[in-house]
Structure formats: C-alpha cells, structure tokens
Chain A
Amino acid sequence: MLKLFNIDKRYGPPERPIPVLRDVTLSVAAGDFCAILGPSGSGKSTLMNIIGLLDRPSAGQVVLDDAAVDFTSPAATARLRNLTLGFVFQAFHLMPRLTAWENVALPLLYRREDRARRKARALAMLDQVGLADRADHRPSELSGGQKQRVALARALVGHPKLILADEPTGSLDSVTAGEVMALLRDLNRRLGVTIVMVTHDRDLAARCDRRIEVLDGRIVRDTAAA
C-alpha cells in the first residue's frame, strides 16, 4: 500500500547539508497498525511528513497504491492527501469556530461535496467514534479525549487508505490516552484502516502490531508484535 524506497532527506545549504533521513526503505501493508518510534531528533517527524506528503524527499521515491508520488506539484499532493490520507495531530487542530460535525466534514469541502452529503457522512463518522450526541458542540465545549475523537473522525471521514497519527495521545492524560488508543485499535480492526502512528512512548508502541524504530535518520529495528 505504501512503499518508501531509499529516502534521503537533507536540510540546510547544498554545500553543507544536514542529513536527517538516510536511505530509508519501508513498506506498509494495508490493514497494518504500526508505530514509528524514536527519540526526538531521530528523524521520525521528518519521516512522518514525507509519508504524509507534506515534505518532499531529497532523494528516493514514495509509492502510494502502486503509483509513485509526484512531489513537484503542490496541488497534486494536496489532492492525494485529501483522497488517500487522514491526519491526527497531537494538538488536535480543530477549528474553534466550527461545530464538531463541521470540523469532521472539512476534508469533504475540498472534494466539492454538497453540504447535506457532507453532514450525513460527518454524523455517521462521529457515530463511529462514539460522539453522535456531540455533533453540534464546538471544540471549546469538548474534553481533550472528545476533541481527539472528533479529529479522528475528521481523519476518517474521507475513507482514506492510511491514517497518520502524530503523537495522538501526547496532549491527553493516561486514562483518556488509553481510550483513544483503544479506539484506534478498534477502528483498525473493525474498518480495516491502515494506521501509522508516530510516538516516543514505548508502552503505546507496544500496543501496535508493528514497531519501526528510527535513530539518527535510519530505521534500526522493525519488529512485528508476537
């Protein structure tokens, strides 16, 4: 489903490049639930941004659904993100002015779907994450866990192939974090969504099917759960 071939990423001036990712090759199969694990500065965020088509690699190729990604057109990558990826962030990134369902429906706005259809799909997705009764609440009226579940519904609403979760429980207390983690697990099994989660929390990573450990811009270990 997702394949990375010999990805290099360097920052800084070309004459004195600072390498962040070195020769990363990775393959994620449909239905996988994997964690990308590593200390800060290891390059895991950069890896995440490249998988999320938000950053372009200095070298190498990203293949999504058997098609190589063309990073030269921002509009094309935006469309690809909209159609195949769902994002969950540590800071939720919900729009305060919009209600829960409007936040969930936002990705569909860029597909030019009409409002009635967007609302129906958003409400269905809120139901999937157990927040059907909060559809008309604004983010300020929701708890942290509820906010992250709204964000999760937003990531899922366009039926993406892959959910990218960047420290999804980083802003939550341990009980709520556990709930959100359980929900991700459940969605992965029930809906068959592929999930790639970035975390530095080993306990959380332990609950995923597969752990990819990154250090100094390289994948140092790739283990499947027993």
Chain B
Amino acid sequence: MTSPRPYAFGVPLGEGVAEALGNLQDQRQRSVLALLGILIGTASIVAMLTIGHMAQRETLKMFKHLGVDILQIHAIPTGLGAGQVDRAAVEALSLSDPAVLAAAPLTSGRGAVTANGLGGDMGVVPSTAALPALTGMRLASGRFLGPLDDGGLVAVVGAETARKLSLPGAPLVPGGQVRIKDYLYTVVGVLAPMPYTAFDPTNFNDAVQIPLSGAGRFTPSSQPDTVLIRMRPDADVKAAGRRVSAALANPSARLQVISARDLIDGMNAQKAIHTRLLTAIGAISLLVGGIGVMNVMLMGVMERRREIGLRAAIGATPRDLQLMFLIEAVVLAFVGGVAGLAFGLAAAFVAAKASGWDFAPPLYVIGLGPGMAALVGVTFGFYPALKASRLDPIEALRAE
C-alpha cells in the first residue's frame, strides 16, 4: 500500500489563495467590515510615515540655501537703547575662532523706501560685503555691496522690492535711485528671487541692503544687531556658540544664539512626538482590525463546520485546515493593507498639496503597510485556524 508521504503543504499556495478569495467573497459584507479596521490602521500608519518623511524633506529644504552649519546671533536689547554687537569683533571672529569660517554682521530694520513715486514700508538691511556668500543670494543684475562701499549712498534691492518700485516701461535697474528717509541711494545691484524661510533673519526679497557704516543715518548706531556665522561642518556648534557669545558679549544686549542644527533637532523632537502619537493610533486601529479579522474567521469556522468535516473526511490533515483558514485571514488582512496603503498615500498627497510640499512618499511604506497588515492576519488568524483544525470531523459533518 502507499504509505502517507510526509508533506508540508497539502495544497499548493496559489490554489490556497484562490480558494481563500472565493470563500471571502462568499461572505463579502462581513469581510468588508473586517477589512475596514485593517484599512484604517494601515492607512494611518502609511499616511503618518509619508507625511513625516515629507516634512523632514521640507525642513531640510528650508536650510538648503543657508546650509545647516549656520549660526545666528541676535542681540536682544537689555535696556532702553538698541541691542548691538561690535562690528569689529564680529569681523575678527573668523580669524580668532577656528570653528568659524565666515561671519557677516547686519541689522534688520524697516523704513519708508520710495522710487519712481512708488514705495512704502520695507525692510532696510544695513550689511557688509560678507553677507551674500553666507546667504547664497544671487544677482539678477549689477553687483553686491563691496568693501569700498562702506559709508556710501549705494543700495542693493531685493527682487520683490525692485518689482514694487518699478513702473511699466521704467523698471528699477542698477543706476536708478531709491529714497530712504531723506537720502537718495544709487542702486548698484538687483537680487534674483531667493527662498525665504523661517530661519532667514529677514526677507531679503523684500528689503533694501545698504552699507552698514552708513546705518547711523537711520538707527541710533551703525553697529549690527544680528550676526550670521558659517561654522566648520565638523564644529561643535554648542561650544562654538558659547565662545562666540563670549567674544561678542557687551552690556547693551543679551545674545540669543540660534543654530540650524538646534532648530532641526527641535523639529525632529516635535516630529517624534507626532510620530509616536500617530503610530499609537495606527497600532490601535490595527489591533481593532485584527480582532475584526479574528471575529470574521471564527464565524467562518462555525458556519463552515460541515465543509471542514468533509475536507477532513476526504483527506485534509489538521495542518491543511489550519493553513486554509490562515491563508484566508492573511489574504483578508493583506487586501485591507493594500487598500490602506492607497488611502494612506492619498491622505498624504492631500496633506502635501495643502502644505505646498512636494509629494514624495518613502518607498519602504509600500512594503511596510501591506506587510504589517499581513502580519496582523497571521497573528489574529492563528486561533480560528487552530480551532478549525481541532474540530472533530464526525461532529462537524453532523452540524446544521
């Protein structure tokens, strides 16, 4: 006689999956309800991961033109007078501190700027020739402020400012003039449009840069209140910040040090909290979905006792029966996972469009979402499958 062959899979996997799909379709309504939990769970996890990934990209983009090695010092006034730092001390930084590659002093103020009979309240930024290299600003025409411009009545206007001060047919170009308070400045350069992010000390697009030495015409002093510093990429930002603060310390101001890395760390910390929260929500949804899968499978086992009995009688081993129900649970969860992936990506897409971000999902979520759902299927399908395999075939065949 033929002895029973040892075998792991009585039924080829493909056929098992096809069977499972057929069985699930038989109980469509219930299957859909179980899918819903898995779908919500997967969708929230996928959306969360995708949005997090995009947020990080956007954060990095924000520092792209400045670079992440930038340190900002703001002089916050301690008394009634203006807060300020010493320009000479700032300019000596790159020589005295090995961690500092370059330092640019500036003051960000506002004032009435007019030209061609147009104008209004705009940024007026007294600065030096060191600024362009630190901010990545580019020229549309003309030149930047140079070392020889100090004290002179020359100005570089931002792209937005140039647009505001131009008449049709009479654009504001180098050689033109702008009036700031009672002084006429000759425009020597017009900037190309540049990104403006929360980390920029001011919006250079909508400002007029003038030489720092002449700033005393508008502000109580011609000393800067802001310093932009580029650090060596390998520098210890915190230690350098302390050294720079010490070097620039003076009684007029309390110095606030902001580093791009600190900001990124802060945003990452914020993001980590959101991630944990959303992961918890996703995990709870998946748990609920898993219980839904278990419920559907248990009901299926009860309803299909006769089928189970018959299959056992014609030669299905307990293992075959276990696999049959396990495959069903996994297929059910996997379908929910794939649908969840689609919904999650759609939600992330909407969020990206609403925030004006680029839609850029990380590739790993495509595997992770449905994979996690399938894992839930295995976990919660196990007990019903075990139950099915342990039915007494005689009792099962007699079931109503």
Contacts and interface: CB of A to CB of B under 8 A. Distances in A.
Given A65-B1, A83-B2, A109-B15, A97 B316 contact: no
Interface in A45-76: 49, 52, 54-55, 64-67, 74-76
A5 interface: no
A91 B26 CA distance: 21
Contacts of B132: none
Contacts of B306: 91, 93
B317 A79 contact: yes
A112 B12 contact: yes
A74 B10 contact: no
Given A93-B397, A95-B307, A81 B313 contact: yes
A115 B397 CA distance: 26
Given A74-B317, A87-B314, A79 B4 contact: yes
A55 B311 CA distance: 15
A54 B26 CA distance: 28
Contact of B314 (A75, A107, A112): A107
Interface residues of A, number: 34
A31 B312 CA distance: 26
B193 interface: no
A112 B9 contact: yes
Interface of B: prevailing SS: helix
Interface string B81-102: 0000000000000000000000
Return the 4 tightest CB-CB contacts between A and B, nearest first: A82-B315, A79-B4, A65-B1, A75-B317
Interface of B: 1-2, 4-5, 7, 9-12, 15, 22-23, 26, 306-307, 309-320, 393-394, 397
Given A82-B315, A110-B311, A110-B320, 11 more contacts: A79-B4, A79-B317, A81-B313, A81-B314, A82-B314, A83-B1, A95-B310, A109-B10, A110-B10, A110-B317, A112-B12
Interface of A: 49, 52, 54-55, 64-67, 74-76, 78-84, 87, 89, 91, 93, 95, 97, 106-107, 109-112, 114-115, 154, 158
